[in-house]
Amino acid sequence: MVAATYRPDNTAAYRMSYDDPYRELEPPAQEIAIVQEALQLLHQVGVLPHTRYDEHKLQAFRRAVQEQFEVPWTAITPRMQRLLYAINAIHQPQNMIAAGVFCGFTFICNAGAAVGPGAVYTAQHLLGVEIRPAEAERAERNVRRLDPTGAARIVAADAVEVVAQFPHDIHLLYLDADGDQGRGKGIYLQILEAGYAKMPEGSLILAHNSANGGARLTPYLEYVRDPAHCRASVNVLLDIEGLEVSIK
């Protein structure tokens, strides 16, 4: 089991405004270099087979989301958006589930590697799950503009149940639900436990808020950093939210 952390020097100063997600926060070359360092560490510890992704496709994906998505707010920084897109473009999951997608922005950061103008491969099932029906409807409207094919879609449901009932293997599970009924970020572990047996070896688990998820996230982080469950797990602290990237 390899547990590692990536933290660039300037993470604390890298701050976004949640209602202005497209504002440039640093020179593009710096954003690219920082994400590349994170990808290199993920490659070194065996989470990713390589670190290459298509910059033009990433830019096409970004433009389409900016033009077509209704986003009231998001905590996904440009660095995080790039990292999520790159991980999906490199790993190329046939089946991906994103849990707790709000307006769909986080979902498309993952699914945008397989649908729309940033697509670099063809997937089978790309499923976003959002428990609040009105948000799920907005996310579905957003996603339909970018992916008329229907390969990527949003359902209004509890992610624990959707993952438990999903009838296929899951090759990438993205966790971002903040839980209802007092479950908070503690729900990540419930969702992962519901899907763990369906995840073939080599599948990836991405958990947003690894930096600021609070004590509720601790049991989840202990689970994925336990060699009984994952081969490697890296805490990528390239912004103040963070992403734990784990490989089964």
Ligand X SMILES: C[S@@+](CC[C@H](N)C(=O)[O-])C[C@H]1O[C@@H](n2cnc3c(N)ncnc32)[C@H](O)[C@@H]1O
Interface residue list for ligand X (CB under 6 A)? 74-76, 99-100, 102, 105-106, 129-132, 135, 158-160, 176-180, 187, 208
Please identify the residue of the shown chain whose CB is closest to the bound ligand X: 100
Whether the CB-CB separation of 206 and 242 falls below 8 Å is answered with no
Strand-strand pairing, 243-247 and 232-236: antiparallel
In the complex, the smallest distance separating the C-beta of residue 188 from ligand X, rounded to whole angstroms, is 10
- The DSSP H or E segment spanning 148 is none
Whether the CB-CB separation of 47 and 245 falls below 8 Å is answered with yes
User: In this complex, which beta carbon is closest to ligand X, that of residue 105 or of residue 220?
Assistant: 105
Q: How many CB atoms lie within 10 A of CB 14?
A: 18
In the complex, the smallest distance separating the C-beta of residue 165 from ligand X, rounded to whole angstroms, is 13
Using CA atoms, how far apart are residues 132 and 155, in angstroms rounded to an integer? 10
User: In this complex, which beta carbon is closest to ligand X, that of residue 207 or of residue 247?
Assistant: 207
In the complex, the smallest distance separating the C-beta of residue 148 from ligand X, rounded to whole angstroms, is 23
User: In this complex, which beta carbon is closest to ligand X, that of residue 101 or of residue 232?
Assistant: 101
User: In this complex, which beta carbon is closest to ligand X, that of residue 93 or of residue 179?
Assistant: 179
Phi then psi for residue 164, to 5 deg, are -60, -35
Whether the CB-CB separation of 140 and 104 falls below 8 Å is answered with yes
Whether the CB-CB separation of 212 and 184 falls below 8 Å is answered with no
In the complex, the smallest distance separating the C-beta of residue 90 from ligand X, rounded to whole angstroms, is 22
User: In this complex, which beta carbon is closest to ligand X, that of residue 34 or of residue 76?
Assistant: 76
In the complex, the smallest distance separating the C-beta of residue 210 from ligand X, rounded to whole angstroms, is 12
Using CA atoms, how far apart are residues 149 and 147, in angstroms rounded to an integer? 5
